[in-house]
């Protein structure tokens, strides 16, 4: 078993305030091996991200690392790093000793539904799988979840769990898209999937980002936990034996490999 804290926090424009919310959430994550926070935990989206972006040895990630070490659990959270004129939208992975183990820079940028993330964000290029709390975690950020080829690349790199972090935009059908896509990535890859979104935060921002609905989905696409829209922390368990059982029942990954081998002969 691996115990994961789904940390659905509201995110403000102020990085110190957000770091304090991370600390408060970790204090509620007792017994977890890994705590996962949303995309853009550093600060909300907006023009400010270009001035508030920090290197991975800056105060925000250093604060995350200190909190991870203090509470003895691994942490995944979304930050912004300085890039070449634009910034990177980065998922940082920190182990329970407070060491930064990996940084995934979002590949697919949200140039959809009237938004233009690429105006401010420079895309990454490489899928990332990182071992945290004894589990190989494949990192997926928000709009990435619409691209099944990224999830399959993470499977091929040995991922045992998907961590999807998001600041999902609200709007007609958007919440339904989120739930459907997260369940699809879990089911088609027979993979435990922890998906964490920002809680709605109308008191501090009116940009519409953050619908909540953080979820744990099992390898057969069943939603095991759903936090709804309110801020909250929920510790859930993933049973790796259920992954093996699901793949024995539904060996689609094995069939994909065998069929591909036939096609390329």
Quote the CA–CA distance of 144 and 137 in Å, as a whole number. 15
Tokens 């007609």: give the residue.
172
Tokens 């071992």: give the residue.
131
Coil, strand or helix: which one is 148? helix
Which is catalytic among the residues 7, 54, 81, 106? 106
φ, ψ at 26 (rounded to 5°) = -65, -35
Phi-psi region of 212 (alpha: psi -120 to 50; beta: other; left: phi over 0): left
Which is catalytic among the residues 7, 39, 54, 81? 39
Which is catalytic among the residues 54, 117, 142, 160? 142
59, 133, 134, 189, 201 from 65: Cα distances, Å: 10, 15, 18, 31, 25
- Give the rounded distance of the alpha carbon of 7 from its chain centre: 11
Q: Is 252 a catalytic residue?
A: no
Quote the CA–CA distance of 262 and 259 in Å, as a whole number. 5
Record the tokens describing residue 190, joined without a space: 């027979």
Q: Is 149 a catalytic residue?
A: no
DSSP assignment, residue 124?
-
Cross-sheet strand order for the sheet of 232-238:
100-105, 87-94, 74-82, 34-36, 2-8, 232-238
Q: Which residues of 141-163 are buried (b: 16+ CB within 10 A; e: fewer)?
A: bbbbbeeeebbbbbbeeebbbbb
* Catalytic center residues: 39, 106, 142
């Amino acid at each position: 078993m691996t115990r994961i804290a789904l940390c659905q926090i509201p995110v403000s424009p102020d990085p110190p305030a957000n770091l304090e919310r991370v600390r408060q959430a970790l204090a509620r994550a007792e017994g977890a091996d890994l705590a996962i926070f949303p995309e853009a935990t550093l600060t909300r989206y907006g023009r400010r991200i270009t001035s508030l972006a920090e290197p991975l040895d800056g105060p925000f990630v250093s604060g995350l690392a200190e909190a991870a070490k203090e509470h003895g659990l691994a942490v995944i959270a979304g930050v912004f790093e300085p890039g070449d004129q634009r910034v990177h939208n980065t998922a940082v992975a920190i182990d329970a000793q407070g060491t930064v183990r990996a940084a995934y820079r979002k590949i697919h940028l949200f140039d959809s539904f009237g938004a233009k993330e690429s105006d401010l964000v420079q895309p990454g290029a490489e899928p990332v799988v990182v071992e945290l709390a004894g589990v190989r975690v494949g990192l997926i950020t928000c709009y990435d979840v619409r691209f099944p080829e990224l999830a399959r690349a993470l499977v091929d790199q040995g991922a045992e769990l998907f961590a999807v972090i998001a600041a999902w935009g609200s709007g007609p059908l958007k919440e339904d898209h989120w739930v459907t896509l997260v369940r699809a990535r879990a089911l088609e890859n027979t993979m435990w999937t922890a998906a964490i979104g920002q809680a709605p935060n109308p008191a501090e921002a009116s940009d519409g980002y953050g619908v909540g609905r953080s979820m744990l989905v099992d390898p057969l696409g069943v939603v095991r936990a759903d936090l709804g829209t309110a801020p909250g922390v929920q510790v859930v368990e993933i049973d790796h034996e259920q992954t093996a059982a699901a793949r024995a029942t539904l060996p689609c990954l094995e069939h994909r490999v065998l069929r591909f081998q036939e096609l390329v002969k």
